[in-house]
Structure 1
Amino acid sequence: MQNANLKCGLSEKSEGHYVDDIATNAYVWYDTNWKHDDYEHKHHRSQLTFVEEGYQYFHMDEKVYLVPQNHVIWIPSAKEHRITSESKTVNLMIVLFKSIPEKDFYKNVHVFSAPPVLKEMILYASKWDKELIDNEEKTSFLNALLTSLPSFCKENNSLQIPVPTDSRLIPVCNEINRNYQYTFDIEELAKLAQMSVRSLQRIFKQNTNITIQKYLQLIRILKSIELLDANQYTLSQIAFMVGYKSLSAFSTSYFSVIKEKPKARK
């Protein structure tokens, strides 16, 4: 960020609300060691974010979207969102669009792994970093990037962590988030929710669209991504730290969520 009130080229006139006085339809904003306010904000441009290094959590629509390294997230215009991350370093590139095609794809949030062609397109576009005036190549290229997004999107719904709206389920989720490395007694979780085991399983699935077991798996994989990013542990150490009894079980679970094998940087 260039100063406290200028974020991604937009002027923040009050907390979370931006004034867009940029004339160009689309522009690129690349940042290393990204730091963003963690309060809710919105802007009247659609946003494509590519995480080159690290990871980010996007909080919106009663969900938490995980965007790991080499993934992108598409956020429609005027969508309130909040961003958090515990990653040591976050390098990312944002492309902001004022006008978008009239297709349903662009009206919804999408998170997916950037295939090689899309990644190369995004990295090529970094040549126009913070260039807020139009030129013919930039305009044509960013428009091609925008219109090609639906064909690149292979949605990964496993990267969406639901936040229950039923207050009885909050203690259950909090307990899982605190003690994800342990095996849970479903009866103890039911006591926290003050309902029967059968009711808990039914209401949790209705409220979040996933089972308690799936929720636990997602939390464990999220924690493993944080540990991988810390670059301090082997894969076997991480597997045991997040609750798996073997590296193979962890690798299988990780692949089912992230769609690629876990890789330690050490």
Structure 2
Amino acid sequence: MYNLDTEEYLRNIDLHPENVFVVHQKLERLLPLHSHTKSQLTYVDGGIAYIHIANKTYIIPARHYVWIPAGLEHFVKVRNSATVTRNLYFYTTDDAKFPFYQELGIYPVNNLLFEMLVFTENWSGSIEKNEPAFTFLSAIKNILPVMGIKSYPIALPTTDNTRLKPILLYLSQNYEKTITLENISARFGMGERTLSRLFQSTMSISFLQYLKLLRIVKAIEMILQNDKSTSEIAYLSGYNSLASFSKAFYQLTNFRPSDFGKRTFLNQSL
């Protein structure tokens, strides 16, 4: 159940469907799983964040925003408590015009959009149609579908399965170690085939695919911290060589590790 403060906050967002609701704060108020009748744009100003949707967790790198369509249950978790999220909740009267508005997506922020999002800190709360700010905020929404930028693809499956949850926790805390299906099966007292089937049937991903994805997600976190070399990150992510790490990273992101951080912070244009 939501507490009264949370209920009021969510109610205020949706109170005037034709308005834009603007919120700048830390951690999206630590909201539990929830949804809105409005579409949502959330930009994480520095640091890294995760958005949890059903049985998947998507990573939101620095200099990226997430678009959340109306009605989709979610919650956002920010890794750095000092990070500010810029949240814009939009009317949905024109959402049918573009498929973009109806799908969850995580996209890079170019210079133009970055400056526009920063400028929104001049406002907060519900912005009505007759206010000058409304025209500016509408312009942000209008340019999103025409930028032609592909959504960021990284999603880490999650589950409430009581047998898998302690295994996933262990993997998250020990991903840099030598991990095999055999030694994890032995640690948690189940057969290799049983564990393999459990991963596939519960999360539609193999044990090795999950481990690979987890390690790349952790590597992305380290890359965005910008204080380690690519070789250091490779070994800290559980890879025995830079070549194998680079290959796995490229397979999942279509970028070399050395280029990924540059992509996040380089000036981009429409």
TM-score by length of 2: 0.74
Q: Distance in 1 between matches of 2:81 and 2:11?
A: 30
Q: Distance in 2 between matches of 1:16 and 1:58?
A: 20
* 1:182-215 superposed Cα distances (whole Å, 9 cap, x missing partner): 2322123334565542343234123223222221
* 1:87-120 superposed Cα distances (whole Å, 9 cap, x missing partner): 3642443221132413654344222334x3xx52
Q: Distance in 2 between matches of 1:165 and 1:41?
A: 14
What letter matches 1:95 in structure 2? L
* Match in the other structure for 2:268: none
Asked whether 1:83 is paired with 2:76, we answer yes
Asked whether 1:177 is paired with 2:188, we answer no
Higher RCO structure, 1 or 2 (CA under 8 Å, sep 6+): 2
Q: Distance in 1 between matches of 2:46 and 2:119?
A: 18
What letter matches 2:47 in structure 1? G
What letter matches 1:14 in structure 2? D
TM-score by length of 1: 0.75
- Structure 2: where are the runs of 5+ without partners? 266-270
What letter matches 1:233 in structure 2? K
Asked whether 1:187 is paired with 2:182, we answer yes
1:62 aligned to 39, 43, 55, which one? 55
Cα 1:225/1:87, change in 2 over 3 Å: farther
Cα 1:206/1:106, change in 2 over 3 Å: farther
* Match in the other structure for 1:8: none
* Match in the other structure for 1:74: 67
Cα 1:141/1:176, change in 2 over 3 Å: same
Cα 1:108/1:220, change in 2 over 3 Å: same
The CA RMSD measured in Å over matched residues stands at 3.3
What letter matches 2:6 in structure 1? E
Offset, 1:61: 0.9
- Structure 1: where are the runs of 5+ without partners? 1-11
Cα 1:193/1:108, change in 2 over 3 Å: farther
Q: Distance in 2 between matches of 1:207 and 1:185?
A: 19
Q: Distance in 2 between matches of 1:62 and 1:16?
A: 24
Q: Distance in 1 between matches of 2:226 and 2:140?
A: 33
Cα 1:35/1:172, change in 2 over 3 Å: closer
* 1:223-243 superposed Cα distances (whole Å, 9 cap, x missing partner): 223333444433322221111
* Match in the other structure for 2:217: 222
Q: What percent identity do the matched residue pairs reach?
A: 25
* 1:156-202 superposed Cα distances (whole Å, 9 cap, x missing partner): 33x21111243332233222112101232212333456554234323
Higher helix proportion (structure 1 or 2): 2
Q: Distance in 2 between matches of 1:92 and 1:185?
A: 38
Asked whether 1:239 is paired with 2:211, we answer no
Partner-residue secondary structure (3-state), 1:40? coil
Alignment of 1:93-172 (within 5 A): 93-100=86-93, 101-102=95-96, 105-114=100-109, 116=110, 120-129=112-121, 130=123, 132-134=127-129, 138-151=133-146, 152=148, 154-157=150-153, 159-172=154-167
Asked whether 1:263 is paired with 2:261, we answer yes
Offset, 1:39: 4.2
Q: Distance in 2 between matches of 1:88 and 1:29?
A: 16
Q: Which moved more, 1:58-67 or 1:37-46?
A: 37-46
Equivalent pairs, count: 248
* Match in the other structure for 2:19: 25
Q: Distance in 1 between matches of 2:18 and 2:198?
A: 48
2:40 aligned to 47, 50, 56, which one? 47
